[in-house]
């Protein structure tokens, strides 16, 4: 039984956790979940280039995605979430037809920069990861 170092580790971690976060409405978990979803990082990437209207943004995301296009409904949902957290700003001008523009806030640009760092790290390790997967899949037969 190596229970002593084990409990020590638990105590250390528990202290670290309760220091920040752990309680409900934990932005860290929620934002990480957002960045891990199907579209948000791609949306940030496009909005980084300037101001976009809903339809144009939707078309462009479809072209950038290897899979299929984002549905209108989901784009609205994602933009709402991003806007709610303060990463995206929404501007309305005119109402028939409506003209709505989206752009990054300074906070959103900063978030995108941070996320890119992680994504780039993964991309440079991509072959490494692919190799590990092949080995793993071949191993158990």
Partner DNA sequence: CCGCATCCTAGGCGATACTG
Partner DNA sequence: CAGTATCGCCTAGGATGCGG
Does position 97 bind its own copies by CB under 8 A?
no
64 binds, among its own copies, DNA, none (CB under 5 to 8 A by kind): its own copies
Cis geometry, peptide bond prior to residue 102 (ω within 30 degrees of 0): no
What HEC string does 83-139 produce? HHCCCEEEEEEEECCEEEEEEECHHHHHHHHHHHHHHHHHHHCHHHHHHHHHHHHHH
Residues in contact with DNA, total (CB under 7 A)? 26
Please give the residue ranges that form the binding site for its own copies (CB under 8 A): 5-6, 9-10, 12-14, 17, 20-28, 31-37, 41, 45-46, 49-50, 56, 60, 63-67, 83-86, 107, 110-111, 114-115, 117-119, 121-123, 125-126, 128-133, 136-137
């Amino acid at each position: 039984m190596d229970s002593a170092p084990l409990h020590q580790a638990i105590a250390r971690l528990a202290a670290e956790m309760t220091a920040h976060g752990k309680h409900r409405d934990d932005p860290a978990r929620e934002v990480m979940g957002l960045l891990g979803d199907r579209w948000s990082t791609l949306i940030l990437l496009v909005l980084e280039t300037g101001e976009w209207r809903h339809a144009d943004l939707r078309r462009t995301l479809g072209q950038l995605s290897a899979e299929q296009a984002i549905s209108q409904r989901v784009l609205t949902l994602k933009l709402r979430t991003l806007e709610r957290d303060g990463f995206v700003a929404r501007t309305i001008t005119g109402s028939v037809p409506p003209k709505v523009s989206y752009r990054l806030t300074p906070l959103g640009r900063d978030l995108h920069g941070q996320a890119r760092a992680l994504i780039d790290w993964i991309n440079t390790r991509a072959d490494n990861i692919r190799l590990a997967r092949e080995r793993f899949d071949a191993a158990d037969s």
